[in-house]
Amino acid sequence: MSAAGSRLTILGVADSDSYVKWGAATLARAPRNWDTDFVVIDSPFVPTAAQRAAAVDGLMDGDPPVLSLAELTERVAQQQPDVVFLSLRGPLIRVVLRAILTVSSRRPILVSGLPGISIPATRKALTFRSQVDLIVLHSKRELRDFPEVAAKLGIEQEFALATLPFFATTHRSDALRDEVVFAAQAKVPRLRSERLAIVDALAECARTHPELRVVIKLRAVGNETQTHAEQYPYDQLLSELRSRPVNLVAESGSMGAHLERAVGLVTVSSTALLEAAAIGVPGLALDDFGVSQGLINTVFEDSNLLGPSSELIAGRFRMPDPLWLDENYFHESSDDNWVRKIEALVLQRSIAPIPLRRLRYGQAGGRLRQIWDRKRALGPLDHSFAGYVSLAIGYPARALTRTARRGRGLYRAVRRSVAATPSE
């Protein structure tokens, strides 16, 4: 849908495992008259070939190519796509965005978003994406909460609604149902004691139900990376279990394949809980450690999915409350507007250039800050001398800035306290 009436071209760029899955699944649902291309950028978080295969399973043919930042820049220069879909972690977005702009004869429409459950809406999610033209969200609640946070930050941003793209709509009715699947997460829970408690509950579930396999579904094994660093991997904790039931195992691979065999899906707050519900597999969101923004499980309040590990052990899983569904990821597909909004932006760009949105936060430092951003995002893959210099200067400067901010915050707190103290 360019000015000349040709097909809309869109280039998807992803980095870590969850963003590869989300990016590939989103583009797989693009209209047929869109020309889509999808690549993975090389970074310290690049998924292995096995992780990529699991992420794009059933979504695309073959392994998406892994490109360096320089190779990605060359591809953009050659293709000049109408849209660049930035399926990337926040720190890498501004680095890739800058590289794209240097070689674009006409700035492409920039689209980004978050893979999976994005409640609570956070400042970082928005500030990292403050220059994109459109942020794709996945529920009516997200579409309500994110603009409120953006307004508080003074960020002007456009949002669109899309059904979570990796929801299957059907499942094999003849599939063997013999697994309780635990969807592991890197970030939550954080404490080793809490993770051990989950392993103990899974072991007890396996003992109570010897006819079932209890599978800890891993996002990464061995030296594989994932979107968020995991301090206490479940496969390591499982190896420490004194009396491990033979039907308690840790496996990787496609979540969809495991859900085909699942009698129930258990997690703390993984999006896999929604994937399960979409195909009629009951679930359980463990609330043994509370319900909080830090556990990313406040979205499940009033969903009927929260419950203690005793429910897991008993094998009692449940489906979401119907009243919760429409606001939380199960809206009607007719409510989706991401395709229309992207096409409208491309049409608008064909009429007149669209100004690049202002970068919010991370502007101080000029060219040195840009080098610092690139070095921190690419790590050892950035071999430039300037990158190492930026680290030598940047870390002390950041420490001083944070100290100054804490000092200003303390000063304001003292002033508020003094002002609130009644005079005698």
Average pLDDT over residues 202-225: 87
Find the helix or strand (DSSP H, E) in which 215 lies: strand 213-217
pLDDT at residue number 227: 57
Q: Return the structure tokens found at 148.
A: 């409120």
pLDDT at residue number 395: 53
At 104-146, the pLDDT tens digits run 999 999 999 999 999 999 999 999 999 999 999 999 999 999 9
Q: Among 152-166, 191-205, 365-379, whose mean pLDDT is lowest?
A: 365-379
Residues 6+ apart with CB under 8 A from 296: 117, 119, 120, 187, 188, 268, 269
Task: Work out the pLDDT band at 409, boundaries 50, 70, 90.
Answer: low
pLDDT at residue number 3: 43
Give the E-state strand segments of 42-199 in sequence order: 66-67, 83-87, 109-113, 134-137, 159-161, 179-183
Cβ(118)–Cβ(269) under 8 Å? no
Task: State yes or no: pLDDT of 60 exceeds 50.
Answer: yes
At 4-40, the pLDDT tens digits run 445 899 999 999 989 999 999 999 999 999 999 999 9
At 305-320, the pLDDT tens digits run 999 999 999 999 999 9
Supply the DSSP string of 328-362, one letter for each residue: TT---GGG--HHHHHHHHHHHHHHSPPPPPPPPS-
Task: State yes or no: pLDDT of 403 exceeds 70.
Answer: no
Distance of CA 423 to the CA centre of its chain: 51
Buried b (16+ CB within 10 A) or exposed e, 154-171: ebebebbbbbbbbbeeeb
Across the chain, what does the average pLDDT equal? 88
Task: State yes or no: pLDDT of 416 exceeds 80.
Answer: no
CA–CA dist 41, 143 (Å, integer): 29
At 39-58, the pLDDT tens digits run 999 999 899 998 899 889 88
At 175-184, the pLDDT tens digits run 788 999 999 9
Task: Work out the pLDDT band at 166, boundaries 50, 70, 90.
Answer: confident
Task: Work out the pLDDT band at 167, boundaries 50, 70, 90.
Answer: confident
Cβ(156)–Cβ(127) under 8 Å? no
At 266-294, the pLDDT tens digits run 999 999 999 999 999 999 999 999 999 99
Task: State yes or no: pLDDT of 408 exceeds 80.
Answer: no
CA–CA dist 225, 360 (Å, integer): 29
Percentage of the residues of the chain whose pLDDT score is greater than 70: 84
Task: Work out the pLDDT band at 381, boundaries 50, 70, 90.
Answer: confident
pLDDT at residue number 58: 83
pLDDT at residue number 397: 56
Residue 242: how many other CB atoms lie within 10 Å: 5
